[in-house]
Structure 1
Amino acid sequence: MTQAVFPAGAYCRAVERIIAAGQRMDRFGWVPATAGNISIRLPDGNLAITRSGGHKGLLGPDGVICVDPQGRPLAQGDRPSAETLLHCQVYAHDPAAGAVLHGHSVASTVLSMAGGDALVLEGYEVQKVFAGQDTHAARVTVPIFDNDQDIARLARVVAPHLDGMRAGYIIRGHGVYVWGADMDMALARLEGLEFLLACELEKRKLP
């Protein structure tokens, strides 16, 4: 297998943004151990994505690899995350998506294990970070899907719900997936969602 042809500058910028995003997610405690993954769509349609097994807060350039739109590595010996297919699914579904983030926060893990098929967020000013939300009075539903080590099967479960996901989704006991037109938007949505999930977790502690 040979490396795809794409503008070197675009790839270098993508690597820099992925490294910076990993450091930011690590500061908030959203990518413990080797958890999480981060990707950017390149101009040629291929993806720059974190290599499997690396700590996202300690990424270097060799911690990012290229895969094609189906998630196949473009350089022999490269090993993408097992969940690369979920990134590919978002990009295939949404032509405007430019970056996808997956984190494992305490709030998303605990709340998703409390039961139910979704979390409903309402009354928060911060929820306006999500597409189509222009008032705190709106309701934002975040679907929750059962965890599955068979990622292709999990992707098939997620697929019918993608059109309605304004705030991404949660894998039960696992973490969140969010995306945006570029890395800045994806990070804003991740931070917004994680803030809201942390608020919900705190609310449940109130008498």
Structure 2
Amino acid sequence: MPEPIPQAAIEAIVSAGRRMAERNWVPATAGNISVRLPGGRVAITRSGFHKAQLDAGAVMAVDMGGAPENPALRPSAETGLHCGAYRTFPDVGAVVHGHSIANTVLSRRAGDSIRLEGYELLKAFPGLATHEAAVEIPVLDNDQDIPRLQRAVEARWGNMAAPILPGYLIRGHGIYVWGPDMEAALARLEGLEFMLACELANLSINR
């Protein structure tokens, strides 16, 4: 039988779900949350659960290919995108995915990236010691074929010397952000969501 999911991983996912729900970033049953486990395993939210109401029964384990350890349980439809981040970046310990109004609207309007420049919160991200910086958040077209979408994500990563901002947007869909642990992933998500909300507000002001 598979090893039990560590309680600390379950608690991190449950707490993250509540934190994201409080900010209206995971409406209905949207979004998904995961934590890297030892031995090439991933703990991830099951499909169909509201993130404000998660408990141990809403978390399951998959391998690095996204295959469920318990075939009777169905993981999030986008599990492959979480696993792709873990496979590509060995230091990633947690991945979060949300659907805010700002990231949804802006990604629908964007080209292949959204430029963030001059924000104090840029200093929260690896390699950025000052607000006097400009970064591009990749925007990828939405695709219900998750393996194909993950290949598109990896192609974008391959064209970047170093993805300074640890995340990307899926057009009209939402945002993926990761970090070395859950607290870092959530802090980065909050920073990005704040800057995206500022960009959305600026559009309204300049209409």
Output aligned runs, 1:1-207, within 5 Å. Answer: 2-3=1-2, 5=3, 8=4, 11-162=6-157, 164-167=162-165, 168-207=167-206
Do the aligned residues in 1 keep the contact of 2:81 with 2:150 (CA within 8 Å)? yes
CA distance in 2, matches of 1:166, 1:192: 14
SS in 2 for 1:179: strand
SS in 2 for 1:137: coil
CA drift at 1:11: 1.3
SS in 1 for 2:151: helix
SS in 2 for 1:144: strand
CA drift at 1:64: 0.3
Q: Deviation per CA, 1:5-49, whole angstroms, max 9, x where unpaired?
A: 3xx5x6111000000000000000000001000000012220000
CA drift at 1:87: 0.3
Do the aligned residues in 1 keep the contact of 2:104 with 2:173 (CA within 8 Å)? yes
Q: Letter of the 1:139 partner, please give it.
A: A
CA drift at 1:92: 0.3
Which 4+ residue blocks in structure 1 deviate beyond 4 angstroms?
none
CA distance in 2, matches of 1:143, 1:173: 13
What is the number of equivalent residue pairs in this alignment?
A: 202
TM-score normalised by length of structure 1: 0.94
**Structure 1: stretches of 5+ with no match in the other structure:** none
CA distance in 1, matches of 2:177, 2:163: 9
Work out the percentage of aligned pairs sharing the same amino acid: 55
CA distance in 1, matches of 2:33, 2:109: 26
Q: Deviation per CA, 1:140-162, whole angstroms, max 9, x where unpaired?
A: 11010000000111111110223
TM-score normalised by length of structure 2: 0.94
